[in-house]
Amino acid sequence: MERIHPDSRTIIERLDTKGRVHRSGGGAARAEQKQASRTAARSDTASIRGREMRSRGTTQAATEPTSVPAERRPVTYSLNDRTDTASNITSTTGGPASSSIVGALTEINNGAGQTLVNTTLQQTSATRAANDGTNLISFVQGNYRFNKNTIAVNISFTQGTSTVDSDTLFNPRMAFSTDDSGAVEQKTFDVQGIATHELMHSVGVPHITTNTQATMYPSASRTDDVRLRTLEPEDRAALQTLYPVPPPPPPTI
Ligand SMILES: [Zn+2]
């Protein structure tokens, strides 16, 4: 069983189809994390349940910004090893899901103007969100009990203002594709677009409501989510606020 650091908390960001977004943190999430590790010790199919599951339609403001400290960067992610056969990925005309994830990570580095994240994915058999040192990305059933309208969830574990672990789970009963156009694309959620949104959360970027075109705008639709692959100026500014681009070295003479 994992130990709970006194300053640690869990931030859960859930992206829904209907624009309802939940961000929970602080004491309730800490209790949720304790509950998760308790139940995880009993059963591999234990579900994380938390305040955000019970407070539909409400948004809880973040308490303070969090970011990944320099010594933990670039952040390395591990893709669940059953992704290629995941039943919720209904078409891969646009390429394997792993390539879509790499595309999302590449866009985050481009937007940050520096290498925040490692664009080489590790593989893992893990399916559960946990503060275990593995930054999991998974499409298969794990320990999160999804609402039927929830597309994906990012669960970040923090200590103080530092993100120490961050896991992204896609709803196993929602249809995704890697297609960038066509009939299937219009009826499914875009792996790369949704991944870009969730992985931005994993490095601490909150929602942006000032531009409806922003990747970090808090809702997504099946017909208009391929554009989430491309960060808008507000998304890039949020990244660069959290991670200031180092100035170039002075010229040598
Ligand atoms: Zn979100």
Q: How far is CA 51 from the centre of its chain?
A: 19
Q: For residue 253, what pLDDT is reported?
A: 82
Q: What spacing in Å lies between the alpha carbon of 247 and ligand 1's midpoint?
A: 30
Higher pLDDT, 105 or 217: 105
Q: For residue 55, what pLDDT is reported?
A: 26
pLDDT digits (tens, 9 = 90+) for 94-124: 999 999 999 999 999 999 999 999 999 999 9
Q: What spacing in Å lies between the alpha carbon of 248 and ligand 1's midpoint?
A: 33
Confidence of residue 7 (pLDDT cuts 50, 70, 90): low
pLDDT digits (tens, 9 = 90+) for 187-197: 999 999 999 99
Query: What DSSP string describes 48-69?
Result: B--HHHHSTT--PPPSS--B--
Asked if the model's pLDDT at residue 58 lies above 50, the reply is: no
Q: For residue 247, what pLDDT is reported?
A: 81
Q: For residue 119, what pLDDT is reported?
A: 98
Q: How many CA atoms within 13 Å lie on the side-chain side of 197?
A: 30
Q: What is the CATH number of domain 8-242?
A: 3.40.390.10
Q: What spacing in Å lies between the alpha carbon of 13 and ligand 1's midpoint?
A: 5
For the ranges 30-44, 120-134, 187-201, 230-244, which has the lowest average pLDDT? 30-44
Q: What spacing in Å lies between the alpha carbon of 179 and ligand 1's midpoint?
A: 22
Q: What spacing in Å lies between the alpha carbon of 159 and ligand 1's midpoint?
A: 20
Asked if the model's pLDDT at residue 13 lies above 90, the reply is: no
Q: For residue 24, what pLDDT is reported?
A: 56
Q: What spacing in Å lies between the alpha carbon of 81 and ligand 1's midpoint?
A: 24
pLDDT digits (tens, 9 = 90+) for 118-175: 999 999 999 999 999 999 999 999 999 998 888 999 999 988 889 999 999 999 999 9
Structure pTM? 0.81
Q: What spacing in Å lies between the alpha carbon of 201 and ligand 1's midpoint?
A: 7
Nearest to 91 by CA among 172, 175, 173, 170: 175
Task: Give yes or no for a cis peptide into 218 (omega within 30° of 0).
Answer: no
Higher pLDDT, 2 or 76: 76
Domain ranges of the chain: 8-242
Distance (Å, whole) CA 3 – CA 251: 48
Q: What spacing in Å lies between the alpha carbon of 70 and ligand 1's midpoint?
A: 23
Distance (Å, whole) CA 235 – CA 214: 6
For the ranges 55-69, 75-89, 111-125, which has the lowest average pLDDT? 55-69
Asked if the model's pLDDT at residue 201 lies above 90, the reply is: yes
Pair of tokens at residue 246: 């180092």
Q: What spacing in Å lies between the alpha carbon of 82 and ligand 1's midpoint?
A: 24
Nearest to 151 by CA among 227, 220, 206: 220
Q: What spacing in Å lies between the alpha carbon of 196 and ligand 1's midpoint?
A: 10
Q: What spacing in Å lies between the alpha carbon of 203 and ligand 1's midpoint?
A: 12
Asked if the model's pLDDT at residue 29 lies above 60, the reply is: no
Q: What spacing in Å lies between the alpha carbon of 191 and ligand 1's midpoint?
A: 14
User: Which residues, in sequence order, are CB contacts of 126 under 8 Å at separation 6+?
Assistant: 78, 80, 132, 134, 136, 138
Distance (Å, whole) CA 204 – CA 223: 27
